[in-house]
Amino acid sequence: MTRKILVLPGDGIGPEIVAEAVKVLEKLVAEGVELELEFGLIGGAAYDAEGHPLPPGTLASARAADAVLLGAVGGPRYEQLDRALRPEQGLLGLRAELELFANLRPAILYPQLADASTLKPGVVAGLDIMIVRELTGGIYFGQPRGIRVLENGEKEGFNTLVYRESEIERIGRSAFEIARKRGKKLCSVDKANVLEVTELWRQVMTRLARDYPDVELSHMYVDNAAMQLVRAPKQFDVIVTTNMFGDILSDAAAMLTGSIGMLPSASLDANAKGMYEPIHGSAPDIAGRGVANPLATILSVAMMLRYTLGLPDQARRIETAVGTVLDRGLRTADIAAAGESAVGTSEMGDAVIAAL
């Protein structure tokens, strides 16, 4: 059965890094893996071509696809647009429309890159955390929202942080299942001392724990979690948290590894259909120069093979190939140590293909 993959390069460095990941997919196809690639527009690129960051054709193709591979969206050119037309809305719209509620963000320290972290090697050596972020609810999508003018003429901005039990339960189950396949430790991060909605979050997680007796559940307030992440990150195995807390903590966790350019992510629906993208953004400052690191996008293909396409051996093969090129000393500028020479985007991609 041929599986369909929608490729959305997006903005900034998106097209460059996605091109390398596509080489990997094409190599698998050449070897007999039955995949069909389709290309589409999202973000600023879609706005430029069709006047909207998530054109109907892109959404229809995404619905029809088994998985989506996305580069990055956004750029300074689009910051003045109406909110509804900004590139980020393409991404948020896809997450919402496809109900990709479970966002998996691994933070792994590659031993070859231990020096890239700003933290002491002893603090981060061997780091392997999985952040499970709720992605289609919470304050990102809660209504009402807006900026209104009060009677005295002053403006007031407002957003709503809201979670239903069912939303908490489904992300909770995803996280417990993932913890079960890893170190069997799950830390639920909330602000239950202040926010009722996360008091409910904590209650639901506690209730779910009965169904997963093999997983050790703990709870942590988000401010403490931020501190613990930089103080002693190796205490964590899997973290589950709300949309906005997950947005923030996953950036911090990524930087523990010193190389946000290395980290992939998966956003899954209830049937493990998914969108796969690097954690980093569109990096407009280096776009078009062929110096961006394609490894996070290539590793996103590995996550796609594992979580949506059911090909864990192929996933491991890609991860091993990435390890091999790092062993050989290949570094893009973002992960090169001071004074070390760096290779370009396509050179790195070609090296991964060769290692495969």
| Catalytic, out of 140, 163, 212, 276 | 140
When the beta carbons of 91 and 296 are compared against ligand IPM, the nearer one is 91
CA angle 329, 335, 338 (to 5 degrees): 85
Q: Three-state DSSP class for 219?
A: strand
| Catalytic, out of 128, 251, 269, 350 | 251
Closest residue by Cα to residue 134 from 156, 162, 115: 162
d(CA 26, CA 37): 9
The site that binds ligand IPM (CB under 6 A) totals a number of residues, namely 4
| Catalytic, out of 48, 115, 211, 223 | 223
Q: Which of ligand IPM, Mg ion, none does residue 253 bind (CB under 5 to 8 Å by kind)?
A: none
Shortest distance, CB of residue 281 to Mg ion, whole angstroms? 8
- Count how many Cα atoms sit within 13 Å of the Cα of residue 139 in the half-sphere of its side chain: 13
Q: Please give the structure tokens belonging to residue 343.
A: 């290779």
Under rule CB under 6 A, which residues in 41-70 are in contact with ligand IPM? none
Among 11, 247, 319, 334, binds ligand IPM (CB under 6 A): 247
Q: Using the rule CB under 6 A, give the single segment among 85-93, 165-173, 292-300, 323-331 that binds ligand IPM.
A: 85-93
| Catalytic, out of 11, 66, 190, 247 | 247
Q: Please give the structure tokens belonging to residue 281.
A: 């953004």
When the beta carbons of 133 and 170 are compared against ligand IPM, the nearer one is 133
Residue matched to tokens 């190389």 = 259
| Binding flag, residue 334, ligand IPM (CB under 6 A) | no
* Residue count (the chain): 356
Residue matched to tokens 């698998």 = 28
The yes-or-no answer on residue 191 being catalytic is yes
| Catalytic, out of 23, 47, 78, 191 | 191
| Binding flag, residue 167, ligand IPM (CB under 6 A) | no
| Binding flag, residue 266, ligand IPM (CB under 6 A) | no
Among 88, 99, 177, 350, binds ligand IPM (CB under 6 A): 88
CA distances from 86 to 8, 60, 78, 82 (A): 16, 20, 6, 7
The yes-or-no answer on residue 237 being catalytic is no
Chain residues binding Mg ion by CB under 5 A are 247
Are 72 and 280 in contact by the 8 Å Cβ rule? The answer is yes
Q: Please give the structure tokens belonging to residue 255.
A: 């930087």
In the chain, the amino acid numbered 75 is G
| Binding flag, residue 248, ligand IPM (CB under 6 A) | no
Residues designated catalytic? 140, 191, 223, 247, 251
Residues that bind ligand IPM in the complex, under the rule CB under 6 A = 88, 91-92, 247
